Amino acid sequence: QVQLQQSGPGLVKPSQTLSLTCAISGDSVSSNSAAWNWIRQSPSRGLEWLGRTYYRSKWYSDYAASVKSRITVTPDTSKNHFSLQLNSVTPEDTAVYYCVRGVPNFLTGDPLGKFDSWGQGTLVTVSS
C-alpha cells in the first residue's frame, strides 16, 4: 500500500519560496509506471493540478500553465521522495497542498491517469 507523507512550513511570506517535500513508502519515485504530482485546493480555485515528475528511462517534468514560470518539482532517489518549490508566492497561493501518485493509462490515451494515493495535505498560508 502506497503512503505519502508531506512535510514543510505552513506559513510563507509574500515574494518568498514555498517548499514542500513528500516521502514515498510502498513505491519508488523512480517507478516506470507512476508519476508524482502536486495538487492544491483552495475555496477560490478548487482543486488545481500544479505539476509532476516521472521517470521513463530518464526524468521528465511538466507543469500547469498557470504556474509554469514559478514551479519546480524534483525527485530525490536517495531519499525516495519528491519536492515542490513555488517561487514568488502571493496570497493567491494560499491553499492546501497535496502530493499525489498518478498512474497513467496509455491504453485509454490518458497520460496523467488516475490519482490513487494522496498525502495528508499541508495548509500553506502566504502572509507577512
Question: Would you tell me which residues interact with another protein (CB under 8 A)?
Answer: 39, 46-49, 62, 64-65, 98, 105, 108-116, 118-121
* End-to-end Cα separation, the chain, in angstroms: 39
**Distance (Å, whole) CA 75 – CA 30:** 8
Q: Residue written as cell 494522496?
A: 118
CA distance 96 to 25: 21
C-beta closer to another protein: residue 16 or 112? 112
Which of 26, 111 has the CB closer to another protein?
111
Instruction: Give the nearer residue to another protein in terms of CB position, either 8 or 118.
Output: 118
Query: Of 58 and 109, which CB lies nearer to another protein in the complex structure?
Result: 109
Q: Do the beta carbons of residue 124 and residue 20 sit within 8 Å?
A: yes
Q: Are 99 and 38 in contact (CB under 8 A)?
A: yes
- Residue 64: other Cβ atoms inside 10 A: 15
Q: Closest distance between another protein and the C-beta of residue 6, in Å? A: 10
